């Protein structure tokens, strides 16, 4: 049986992790087999690459290297976790996926959305998400929600985060059937209700 692949995207501090947990709890309560994973990470190798990507210490990767390290983590996750779980009929919820690379590296870093779609398309093949929820919020608001020490990407200037947001909105125009934008300035409960509506509208769940 073929499963379904849902990704949750958005700028830093948009509340993705809370929503992934809410969606997962809901789907499990309805009897679905759910697998939750995240990027960068989700495999042993991916978690090591995550450390390399997010540390603020030492030499920063140039944008091209950054794009390829995210892609390496993704390739590992796709082959080791996502493809097998789809074959087993799971609903996969992934906290960030390819659209983060298109928005952060492709648009905000200026490498080009098409270039990043090409690089990732090489190994994704048919494994593009069935549905992508973009939690949309003004980064001036979302960055305030981040507590503790900021990682390398979170420490970027507000202007960079504005470009990331712009990138996600552009992607929703490029892939209107797959990407749905949800207003993330609402309360977590309101956001969840809107996501549920999108899940039902997309036909992924019928309950």
**In this complex, which beta carbon is closest to ligand TYD, that of residue 105 or of residue 132?**
105
**In this complex, which beta carbon is closest to ligand TYD, that of residue 85 or of residue 164?**
164
Task: Name the token pair of 31.
Answer: 């009897």
Residue with tokens 């947990």: 21
Cα 166 versus chain centre, distance: 15
Shortest distance (Å) from residue 190 CB to ligand TYD: 20
Task: Name the token pair of 34.
Answer: 């759910």
* Alpha-carbon gap, residue 139 to 155, rounded angstroms: 12
Which H/E stretch holds residue 93? strand 91-95
Binding mask 22-51 for ligand TYD (x = CB under 6 A): -----------------xx-----------
Q: Is residue 168 at the binding interface for ligand TYD, with CB under 6 A as the rule?
A: no
Task: Name the token pair of 194.
Answer: 């809107």
Q: Which one of 9-17, 81-89, 165-173, 186-194 is the stretch in contact with ligand TYD (CB under 6 A)?
A: 9-17
Task: Name the token pair of 94.
Answer: 């992934």
**In this complex, which beta carbon is closest to ligand TYD, that of residue 1 or of residue 44?**
44
Q: Is residue 3 at the binding interface for ligand TYD, with CB under 6 A as the rule?
A: no
Question: In whole angstroms, how far apart are CA 197 and each of 91, 93, 115, 191?
Answer: 17, 16, 33, 10
* Dihedral of alpha carbons 34, 38, 43, 47, sign: negative
Q: Which one of 12-20, 24-32, 121-129, 182-190 is the stretch in contact with ligand TYD (CB under 6 A)?
A: 12-20
The binder of ligand TYD chosen from 70, 107, 168, 192 (CB under 6 A): 70
Shortest distance (Å) from residue 2 CB to ligand TYD: 24
Binding mask 79-118 for ligand TYD (x = CB under 6 A): ----------------xx---xx--xx-------------
Q: Is residue 136 at the binding interface for ligand TYD, with CB under 6 A as the rule?
A: no
* Alpha-carbon gap, residue 111 to 105, rounded angstroms: 6
Beta-bridge partner residues of 5: 92
- Yes or no: say if 139 and 158 are a contact pair by the CB < 8 Å rule: yes
- Yes or no: say if 164 and 139 are a contact pair by the CB < 8 Å rule: yes
Shortest distance (Å) from residue 26 CB to ligand TYD: 21
Site residues, ligand TYD (CB under 6 A): 12, 16-17, 39-40, 54, 70, 95-96, 100-101, 104-105, 153-154
């Amino acid at each position: 049986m073929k499963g379904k692949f849902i990704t949750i995207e958005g700028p830093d501090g948009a509340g993705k992790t809370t929503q992934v947990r809410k969606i997962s709890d809901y789907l499990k309560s309805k009897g679905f087999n759910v697998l939750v994973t995240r990027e960068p990470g989700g495999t042993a190798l991916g978690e090591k690459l995550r450390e390399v990507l997010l540390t603020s210490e030492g030499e920063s990767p140039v944008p091209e290297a950054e794009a390829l390290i995210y892609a390496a983590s993704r390739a590992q996750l796709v082959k080791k976790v996502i493809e097998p779980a789809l074959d087993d009929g799971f609903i996969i919820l992934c906290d960030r996926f390819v659209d983060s690379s298109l928005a952060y590296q492709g648009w905000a870093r200026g490498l080009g959305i098409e270039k990043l779609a090409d690089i990732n398309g090489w190994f994704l093949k048919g494994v593009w998400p069935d549905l992508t929820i973009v939690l949309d919020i003004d980064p001036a608001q979302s960055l305030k929600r981040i507590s503790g020490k900021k990682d390398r990407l979170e420490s970027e200037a507000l202007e960079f985060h504005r470009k990331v947001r712009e990138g996600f909105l552009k992607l929703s125009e490029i892939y209107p059937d797959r990407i749905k934008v949800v207003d993330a300035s609402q309360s977590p409960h309101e956001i969840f209700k809107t996501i549920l509506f999108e899940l039902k509208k997309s036909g992924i769940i019928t309950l």
